[in-house]
Amino acid sequence: MTVRSATDEAADVRARDLPETFWYSAKRRLLGPPMVNEQLRTERLSRPLALGVLSCDGISSAAYGTEEMLIVMVAAVGLTAFNLILPMTLVVLFGIVVVVLSYREVVSVYTRAGGSYVVARENFGPRVAQVAAVALLIDYVVTVAVQTAAGSAAIVSAFPELGRLPVVGRHILTVISVVAILAMCYGNLRGIREAGKTFALPTYLFSGAVGLMIIVGVFREVTGGLPLVQHYANVGGIYAYGHHTEGLISIAMIYMLLQTYANGGSSLTGIEAVSNAVSALRPPEGRNARQILVTQGTIVIFLIGGISWLAHVTHATPYLDGYPTVLAQEADVVFSGSAGHVMFYVVQLITASILFTGGNTSFSGFPFLASFVAEDSFLPRWLTKRGHRLVFSNGIIILTIVSLTLGLAVGFNVNGLVPFYAIGVFTGFSMAGFGMVKYHLRTKEPGWRHKLVINMTGGIYTVLVVLIFAIVKFKAGAWVIVILGPVLVFALIRLNREYRAEARALEAISERRAAGPAPATPNYLRRVVLVFVDDFDLSTIAALRYAKSLRPTALRAVHFVIDSEQAEKLRAAWIPDRNVTLEFIDCPDRRVSRAALELVSAEAEAAGTHVTVILPRRGYAPLIGRLLHDRTADKIASVVSRVPNAAATIIPFDVQNRLQVLQRKQAPVLLPTPEPSRPGIVADVQHDLKADQSAATPDEPRSLPGAGGYDRPVPAPGTDRIGDLRQPGRATVEGRVRVLEIRPVEDNSVLAVEISDSTGDLTALFYGRSRIPGLICGGKVRLRGHVGFKDGDPVMINPAYELLIQGTGGG
């Protein structure tokens, strides 16, 4: 019979590739091959490229800022809205100036990524910073829904026929938005990078196209050729004109103006994006970030001011269905005429592109911020793991699900989503402003007083916006954020408390070591291994193999009897020549975990004893396993781990893989059967026993294959017969290793090796050793040394040895 070593078998395993799972194969096909960590490099952005990449969210908000203000005023005061739009726009523009100036101070000091979250954490502590974290996370979610809804409206404004399609016509904005979000999710899971010219291009195209529209519109107004907008009777419903109110100082009018201002606050969103990515800029990061902020703010002010002026002149009116948009109506009249009408489509397509690009920025911002917060242990740590393509896949998927849920609940209508929008945005602004106030008061750097005034003004201004928004938009949906925000902050703090408690428990040993001398390594005189057996099958055999490899002082197989009939079947199935006694322990109340705890505790109470519990666990397909099995091994392991000087080890056995092996072998039995004599199972058990000679028990004999009993080799020529040894003296003996045992001797240990030939048994004692590489139960060995006798049995002390099977020797 050919004897294969463990090394040969390991080489065979390495030669076979681990088969890919279905989900991994699908992921490779959908997302492409995995990226390696060396490909995770951040390219620093130049100012022109950074302006295009980081400003698309803020600049794109100009596309709907004016329209959101008109929605409130047209319904309340009718045509007077086109006069009020200019002063209300000036108030909003003032807010943009305040926020830009405030964030200029932020990026001057904090040149790392993180924005208001980092400012709040550094100045108010990690717990208070969770207010900023929740605000920003909500902002990212709503940004995806708002930007895609606005981008969809821009497309349908250019092609209103889409709104009249059968079935989907009424929900065309929802359809386009859902497709866009799913496309963004897929693209980001594939690892697209925003730091490229492709993502900067829409910003410049939108700024140029809308800027050209404003210039041409103003020129046509001055020359007297700019007509009013003609309302579309066949497209959507127009917001009903309200009645003009003489008392502009009435409470209702003040409330309307506050609502208008709150809606217009959506124009400020995205300004903070530069502060969230300062570390991605080329040095000097702070100065480049300040210049980008000022440039971005200037562009936004020009675009919003120009769009509001054209609305004032043309009477472009918002529609209930969200299209045609105010911007589309202005482009239509400004570029009216057969030649110029091409520019109308150009403006709409460019507008849609920047809005979708602005929404896509959240797919990098949200996962990054979530991982940042998770590193501080305020969010689940699996959010810090990078996925198949080196992106934070879990964060991307969560953002997709939540933004889709929000958009579908509101119907992807920009006006319906705005109430969810600005509270999160302006809360982040407030945290950044007041955080910088505390920084200036603490450091008092050169020029700190005027910087303090700027940040204090920004903080107060944005807090007022939050309060206004919470009041005037409460019924419209802001109540969700007002309630959800504090709940999420509490949840994050509670999660962090749990992480900190776990960390304290895990660090207790380190603290004790630091406080005093390091404890000595435990030297257990007795090592007991308990194998808990539920059924006799291949998983139990695998557990016994592992148990024997631990070389215990004592090895016991234990079955807790909760079903007498099952216990009898197990007793009949247990192969007698396994030489491991199976113990049956009564468990009348069927509380297996408690019975295991009592047994392990009783064993571990003996001085100098360590107990290891081996638990076979059968592994199934995830869904089937959870449905069909109660994970008893995990429950027992949890209980055993509480016992001092005890440990639990779970040995998994892949049942699905074993079934595939049996199918390949065309085994006669493929389904489990309670009959122990079933030939298919017995054949496989015997096969595994024969393949397991290298893992034989260290303290008990094992039947060898083909012997019918223990195989005692005939002494080779030139060696002494063990049975003929009667007097002390030198001898050379050869036999098969029957028992290996580690025996404690005072502060040392001795390896006892019992060998047998066809005439008798001999024990060799190797002092100061716990193992000899290659010396295993069932192996043949030749020993040379002095023979003594103890209790009438021959004994050799530290003999020279030669391993015969492996062909290696030593002494």
Beta carbons of 496 and 126 less than 8 angstroms apart? yes
Q: Which one has a higher pLDDT value, 322 or 520?
A: 322
Residue 696 pLDDT > 50: no
613 pLDDT tier (thresholds 50, 70, 90) = very high
Of 373, 436, 366, 429, residue with least CA distance to 395: 366
In this structure, what DSSP letter does residue 517 have? Answer: P
- What is the percent of the chain with per-residue pLDDT over 70, rounded to a whole number? 76
* Residues 346, 394 share a domain: yes
Among 141-155, 409-423, 689-703, which range has the highest average pLDDT? 141-155
Residue 178 phi, psi dihedral angles, 5° rounding = -65, -45
Q: Which one has a higher pLDDT value, 640 or 231?
A: 640
Among 230-244, 311-325, 628-642, 717-731, which range has the highest average pLDDT? 717-731
Largest Cα–Cα separation, the chain? 131
Beta carbons of 557 and 533 less than 8 angstroms apart? yes
From 641, 660, 695, the end of a domain falls on 695
Residue 686 pLDDT > 70: no
Residue 195 pLDDT > 80: no
Average confidence (pLDDT) over 642-651: 87
Structural domain includes residue 286: yes
- Hey, CA dihedral for 364, 365, 369, 372, is it positive or negative? positive
pLDDT number for residue 238 = 53
What is the β-pairing status of strands 748-757 and 760-767?
A: antiparallel
pLDDT number for residue 184 = 87
pLDDT number for residue 797 = 92
Q: Which one has a higher pLDDT value, 777 or 595?
A: 595
Q: Is 593 exposed, middle or buried (0-12, 13-18, 19+ CB in 10 A)?
A: middle
Which amino acid does the sequence have at 691?
A
* Residues 418, 320 share a domain: yes
Beta-sheet strand order (sheet of 526-532)? 582-586, 554-561, 526-532, 609-619, 646-654
* Residues 637, 786 share a domain: no
Q: Which one has a higher pLDDT value, 474 or 204?
A: 204
pLDDT number for residue 689 = 40
Give the side-chain half-sphere CA count within 13 A for 555: 26
pLDDT number for residue 481 = 83
Q: What is the pLDDT of residues 93-130, one digit of tens each?
A: 998 898 888 888 888 888 776 678 888 888 888 888 88
> What is d(CA 455, CA 434) in angstroms, rounded to the nearest whole number?
7
> Which residues, including other chains, have CB under 8 Å from residue 571's CB and lie 6 or more apart?
582, 584
CB crowding 389-415: b at 16 or more within 10 Å, else e: bbbbbbbbebbbebbbebbeebebbbb
* Residues 677, 568 share a domain: yes
> What is d(CA 306, CA 330) in angstroms, rounded to the nearest whole number?
11
* Residues 203, 86 share a domain: yes
* Residues 298, 417 share a domain: yes
Which CATH number does the domain housing residue 643 bear? Answer: 3.40.50.620
Residue 200 pLDDT > 90: no
Which CATH number does the domain housing residue 772 bear? Answer: 2.40.50.140
Structural domain includes residue 514: no
Q: Which one has a higher pLDDT value, 694 or 387?
A: 387
List the single range of 343-347, 461-465, 686-690 with lowest mean pLDDT: 686-690
> Which residues, including other chains, have CB under 8 Å from residue 725's CB and lie 6 or more apart?
731, 733, 760, 762, 787, 794
Average confidence (pLDDT) over 440-460: 89
* Residues 571, 465 share a domain: no
Structural domain includes residue 512: no
What is the total count of domains within the chain? 3
Token look-up 């026993």 returns 689
Average confidence (pLDDT) over 183-209: 79
Structural domain includes residue 552: yes
Beta carbons of 434 and 226 less than 8 angstroms apart? no
Q: What is the pLDDT of residues 301-351, one digit of tens each?
A: 999 999 999 999 998 888 888 888 899 999 989 988 656 678 899 999 999
pLDDT number for residue 105 = 86
* Residues 210, 259 share a domain: yes
Beta carbons of 299 and 55 less than 8 angstroms apart? yes
- Residue-averaged pLDDT of the chain: 78
pLDDT number for residue 152 = 92
Of 151, 564, 143, residue with least CA distance to 369: 143
> What is d(CA 723, CA 734) in angstroms, rounded to the nearest whole number?
12
pLDDT number for residue 722 = 93
Q: Which one has a higher pLDDT value, 135 or 520?
A: 135
Beta carbons of 451 and 457 less than 8 angstroms apart? no
Residue 787 pLDDT > 80: yes
708 pLDDT tier (thresholds 50, 70, 90) = very low
* Residues 549, 446 share a domain: no
734 token code pair: 């050869």
Helices H, strands E: what count in the chain?
Answer: 27, 12
Which amino acid does the sequence have at 441?
L
Residue 408 vs residues 149, 175, 356: alpha-carbon distances, Å? 11, 10, 17
> What is d(CA 507, CA 514) in angstroms, rounded to the nearest whole number?
11
Beta carbons of 191 and 390 less than 8 angstroms apart? yes
Three-state DSSP at 787 gives strand
**Would you tell me the crossing angle of helices 126-158 and 341-360 to the nearest 10 degrees?**
160
From 497, 517, 542, the end of a domain falls on 497
Beta carbons of 680 and 693 less than 8 angstroms apart? no
Among 308-322, 657-671, 765-779, which range has the highest average pLDDT? 308-322
* Residues 191, 295 share a domain: yes
- What is the percent of the chain with per-residue pLDDT over 90, rounded to a whole number? 18
Residue 212 pLDDT > 90: yes
Structural domain includes residue 225: yes
Residue 688 pLDDT > 90: no
Whole-model pTM over 0.85 = no
In this structure, what DSSP letter does residue 274 have? Answer: G
**Would you tell me the crossing angle of helices 362-375 and 393-410 to the nearest 10 degrees?**
120
420 token code pair: 């969810």
Structural domain includes residue 600: yes
Three-state DSSP at 86 gives helix
* Residues 727, 684 share a domain: no
Token look-up 């489990």 returns 672
pLDDT number for residue 728 = 92
Structural domain includes residue 5: no
Residue 707 pLDDT > 60: no
Which CATH number does the domain housing residue 102 bear? Answer: 1.20.1740.10
Domain extent for 652: 526-695
Structural domain includes residue 742: yes
> Which residues, including other chains, have CB under 8 Å from residue 806's CB and lie 6 or more apart?
5, 774, 779
Among 17-21, 323-327, 614-618, 774-778, which range has the highest average pLDDT? 323-327
Three-state DSSP at 749 gives strand
* Residues 767, 619 share a domain: no
Average confidence (pLDDT) over 763-780: 82
